[in-house]
Amino acid sequence: MSFFKKFFTKEKEEDLDKGLEKTKSNIFSKITKAVAGKNTVDESFLDELEEILVSADVGLDTTVKIIERLEERVAVDKYINTSELNQILKSEIVQLLSENNTVDLEDYTVDNSKPPYVILVVGVNGVGKTTTIGKLAHQYKKQGYDIVLGAADTFRAAAVDQLEIWSKRVGCDFYSKGMHADPAAVAYETVNYAIEHKKDIAIIDTAGRLHTKINLMRELSKIKRSVSKAKGDAPHEVLLVLDASTGQNAFEQCSKFSEATEVSALALTKLDGTAKGGVVLGISDQFKIPIQYIGVGEGIEQLQIFNKKAFVDSLFG
């Protein structure tokens, strides 16, 4: 059985479809109307397609790339009807995601050959960062991993408390030095705790402030160095959490965090609350960072592994 059939149960497919409903209505219902009655891709349609994709925050550069690819395919495949156009768009978007290093994960698994596997989670306040950590920990716990959550966002009492609540809900360990502690020290000690207690995974929450690029770079660099001192090959993953509903702001956040640290994976949250889910395509294309997770609802099971085919199929569904 393929991963696609194994992982995307009927319930998960329904969650994905519902989560992308606003984006589907904003993008692809408009495309269907734009192409209705046409038997060729002309300039007026391409102009309308550009406007539709840009309005959904796909981004101008990525939009131009999609349109150029569409023109090349149509010249070869001799576009005839709406169904064929949809198939061409679907295949080109999946190909675009493949080129951007997004690889479909087999499950919520990590390379646990030399535990603990250390994940730094970064992102501005309000994007759903701590909630994403809790949901991710829940999925790892279901796979049998032993986990500790580290509260290195020490500037907000709510962040520390929220992470502790998630640790209790998930049933995993929690490490904190309380408010106003040095975040780098908390990260260092979380990894040491994971080593001493033979944990499989350490997930470390970091501060979500974005005052200036210089301060951000200093803070994240310090945390990363501290983690490396505790375990030479860590962190194994730097996961940037972005709120898809913020549109172009998500691009700006991705740019700043990518400059501040080596972001290795993305999680896009709150797709169910926005009509601008095209940001998923634009960010992946512009930054060449793999998308690993998408949030399609508030439920604990609604942080999904990102699957290119399932995502694109749902958008065109």
The reply to whether omega before 183 is within 30° of 0 (cis) is: no
Altogether, the residues listed in the chain come to a count of 317
When pLDDT is averaged across residues 75-87 and rounded to a whole number, the result is: 75
When pLDDT is averaged across residues 100-127 and rounded to a whole number, the result is: 83
Angstrom distances, CA of residue 211 to CA of 218, 240, 260: 12, 17, 13
Question: So what's the pLDDT on residue 168?
Answer: 97
Write out pLDDT tens, residues 199-243: 999 999 998 766 556 677 788 889 999 999 999 999 999 999 999
Q: Is the pLDDT of residue 109 over 80?
A: no
- Residue pair 175/91 in contact (Cβ under 8 Å)? The answer is no
Question: So what's the pLDDT on residue 1?
Answer: 34
- Residue pair 262/238 in contact (Cβ under 8 Å)? The answer is yes
Averaged pLDDT of the chain: 85
For 204, residues 6+ apart whose C-beta sits below 8 A from its C-beta are: 118, 119, 120, 121, 149, 150, 152, 186, 187, 190, 191, 223, 227, 235
When pLDDT is averaged across residues 150-159 and rounded to a whole number, the result is: 88
Q: Is the pLDDT of residue 192 over 90?
A: yes
Question: So what's the pLDDT on residue 5?
Answer: 43
Write out pLDDT tens, residues 295-312: 988 889 889 988 888 888
Confidence category of residue 281, pLDDT binned at 50, 70, 90: confident
Question: So what's the pLDDT on residue 210?
Answer: 61
- Residue pair 297/107 in contact (Cβ under 8 Å)? The answer is no
Q: Which residues sit opposite 269 in a β-bridge?
A: 243
Q: Which of 118, 259, 254, 111 is nearest to 199 (CA)?
A: 118
Q: How far apart are CA 303 and CA 129, in angstroms?
A: 12
Q: Is the pLDDT of residue 6 over 70?
A: no
Q: Is the pLDDT of residue 11 over 80?
A: no
Helices (H) and strands (E) in the chain, counts: 13, 8
DSSP characters for 180-243?
Answer: T--HHHHHHHHHHHHHHTT-SEEEEEE----S-HHHHHHHHHHHHHHHHHHSTT--SEEEEEEE
Write out pLDDT tens, residues 59-78: 889 999 989 988 888 887 77
Question: So what's the pLDDT on residue 9?
Answer: 65
Q: For the whole prediction, is pTM greater than 0.75?
A: yes
